[in-house]
């Protein structure tokens, strides 16, 4: 039977059916989720590492002696060049000797007088002693003569002492260097009247050997004390080596040793002074200089070291990403104390066996799954590397 629908309606219905079938056929399934990002990790493995520390040190003379006048008078000569080397016994100043010379002459005259009296008393006593046997003189008279001899002998000793003091005063009109070293600036010069020991004329510094002092913080010292081997190395004459870098970036040829630790803590800074001694024959170090000090030979028995790029620093906090057993990432605050090779020594926040993200930290966030792969240089980093 012919259809009762008009031709245009049949064509429209066919078009609708084709559109519905096409729409169903064109719908695609949703894409699969992206794979977890790949990250490089290092497994925390405690190992012995050399824990070098760096400070700013100050150079000090190993000895500094003030040169003072010992007698009063006018300075008539200065016989040294400021800033040059002097030897023990070298003349530095000459003070007008007139008064001292007069004192010597007066003292010698008194000594001569005392000796003459002793001679007279001795002669008298020797003449009276034989007469005592024949009762020609009284015993008292002989005793008085012996007493005069003793008094005259004491007077001679006293006069001799005055002569010695006067001669010493005369010798001290020439002010000499007590030690060898570099003489400093002349604080008083020719024509100045000095009154004695209260007047400092100049100073002498011993520059070979020379000292370099540095001041570790209280936190640093506490960390050392918690590691007995490190603290023993830092004790005076211990095994720790101290290296100095000069202003031009070169190193002082010879390393030094710690020879003194101030037992008193500076209340203003909370630090103690550590002082190392260095040979300084070329005078490369001078008092007052600042130098970069590196302390070597401090070994930690079981230290945790992670590469530098694994530690994130922001707003005073230090953190790392740790991959758990389920390969998910968690953020962890850590305390990075110092350098060892190309990595940080971690004081707190990590333990052995944990996996720390090194490369790919920019692709992860806490709670996200990752695909961890071992870091190629993890073995070298774990041992602290070399510098």
Question: In this predicted structure, what is the pLDDT of residue 9?
Answer: 52
pLDDT top residue among 20 and 85: 85
| Each residue's pLDDT tens digit, 347-369 | 888 888 899 999 988 888 888 89
- Is residue 91 over pLDDT 80? yes
CB 251 within 8 A of CB 102: no
- What Å distances lie between residue 217 and 55, 138, 252, 317, CA to CA? 10, 87, 25, 20
| Domain residue spans of the chain | 38-51+301-382, 53-96+178-297, 98-171
Question: Is the pLDDT at 297 greater than 80, yes or no?
Answer: yes
Most confidently predicted of 104-113, 119-128, 267-276 = 104-113
Report the pLDDT value the prediction gives residue 339, as an integer from 0 to 100.
72
Q: Which helix (H) or strand (E) segment is 17 a member of?
A: helix 7-26
Whether the pLDDT of residue 278 is over 60: the answer is: yes
What pLDDT does 377 receive? 56
Read off φ and ψ for residue 133, nearest 5 degrees: -65, -35
Share of the chain above pLDDT 70, in %: 89
> b/e for 207-239, b at 16 or more Cβ within 10 A?
bbbbbbbbbbeeeebebbeebeebbebbeeebe
- The full length of the chain comes to 387
Give the distance from CA 360 to its chain's centroid: 41
Say which CATH topology domain 53-96+178-297 has: Elongation Factor Tu (Ef-tu); domain 3 (2.40.30)
Dist CA 298 CA 241 (whole Å): 9
Tell me: cis bond preceding 209? Omega within 30 of 0 counts.
Answer: yes
Q: Which CATH number fits domain 38-51+301-382: 3.50.50.60, 3.30.1490.100, 1.10.10.10, 2.40.420.20?
A: 2.40.420.20
d(CA 297, CA 127): 85
By percentage, how much of the chain surpasses pLDDT 90? 45
Confidence (pLDDT) at 5: 53
* Third-level CATH fold of 98-171: Helix Hairpins (1.10.287)
For 285-297, what is the mean pLDDT? 91
Judging by beta carbons within 10 Å of its beta carbon (0-12, 13-18, 19+), is residue 386 exposed, middle or buried?
A: exposed
Which tops the pLDDT comparison, 134 or 384?
Answer: 134
Q: Who wins on pLDDT, 84 or 316?
A: 84
pLDDT band at residue 304 using 50, 70 and 90 as cut-offs: confident
At residue 379, does pLDDT exceed 70? no
Could you give the CA distance from residue 61 to residue 286 in angstroms, rounded to a whole number?
7
- Confirm if 176 and 66 have CB atoms less than 8 A apart: no
Local confidence band at 337 (pLDDT 50, 70, 90 cut-offs): confident
Instruction: Give the burial class of 81: count Cβ atoms within 10 A of its Cβ; 0-12 exposed, 13-18 middle, 19 or more buried.
Output: exposed
Distance of alpha carbon 259 from alpha carbon 386, whole angstroms = 27
Please state, rounded to an integer, the average pLDDT across all residues of the chain: 85
pLDDT digits (tens, 9 = 90+) for 191-246: 999 988 889 999 999 999 999 999 988 888 888 888 888 888 888 988 899 999 98
Name residues whose C-beta falls within 8 Å of residue 57's C-beta, 6 or more positions apart in sequence: 212, 213, 214, 244, 276, 290, 291, 292, 293
Annotate 246-259 with DSSP letters as a single string. Answer: -TTSPBPSS-BEEE
* 8 band by pLDDT with thresholds 50, 70 and 90: very low
């Amino acid at each position: 039977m012919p259809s009762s629908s008009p031709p245009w309606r049949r064509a429209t219905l066919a078009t609708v059916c084709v559109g519905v079938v096409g729409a169903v056929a064109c719908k695609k399934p949703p894409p699969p989720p992206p794979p977890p990002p790949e990250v490089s990790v290092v497994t925390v493995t405690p190992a012995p590492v050399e824990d070098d520390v760096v400070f700013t040190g100050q150079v000090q003379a190993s000895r500094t002696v003030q040169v003072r006048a010992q007698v009063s008078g006018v300075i008539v000569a200065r016989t040294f060049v400021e800033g040059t080397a002097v030897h023990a016994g070298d003349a530095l100043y000459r003070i007008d000797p007139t008064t001292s010379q007069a004192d010597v002459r007066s003292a010698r005259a008194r000594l001569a007088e005392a000796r003459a009296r002793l001679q007279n008393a001795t002669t008298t006593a020797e003449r009276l002693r034989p007469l005592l046997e024949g009762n020609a003189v009284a015993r008292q008279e002989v005793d008085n003569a012996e007493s005069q001899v003793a008094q005259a002998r004491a007077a001679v000793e006293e006069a001799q002492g005055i002569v010695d003091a006067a001669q010493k005063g005369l010798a001290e009109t020439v002010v000499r260097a007590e030690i060898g070293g570099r003489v400093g600036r002349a604080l008083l010069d020719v024509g100045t009247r000095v009154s004695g020991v209260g007047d400092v004329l100049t100073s002498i510094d011993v520059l070979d050997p020379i000292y370099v002092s540095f001041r570790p913080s209280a936190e640093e010292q506490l960390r050392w004390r918690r590691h007995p081997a490190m603290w023993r190395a830092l004790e005076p004459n211990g095994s720790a080596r101290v290296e100095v870098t000069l202003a031009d970036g070169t190193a002082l040829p010879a390393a030094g040793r710690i020879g003194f630790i101030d037992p008193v803590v500076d209340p203003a800074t909370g630090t103690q002074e550590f002082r190392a001694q260095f040979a300084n024959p070329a005078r490369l170090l001078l008092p007052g200089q600042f130098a970069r000090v590196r302390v070597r030979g401090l070994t930690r028995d079981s230290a945790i070291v992670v590469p530098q790029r694994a530690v994130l620093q922001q707003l005073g906090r230090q953190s790392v990403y740790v991959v758990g057993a389920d390969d998910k990432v968690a953020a962890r605050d850590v305390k990075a104390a110092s350098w060892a090779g190309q990595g940080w020594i971690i004081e707190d926040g990590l333990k052995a066996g944990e996996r720390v993200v090194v490369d790919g930290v920019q692709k992860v966030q806490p709670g996200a799954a990752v695909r961890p792969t071992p870091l190629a240089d993890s073995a070298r980093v774990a041992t602290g590397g070399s510098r």
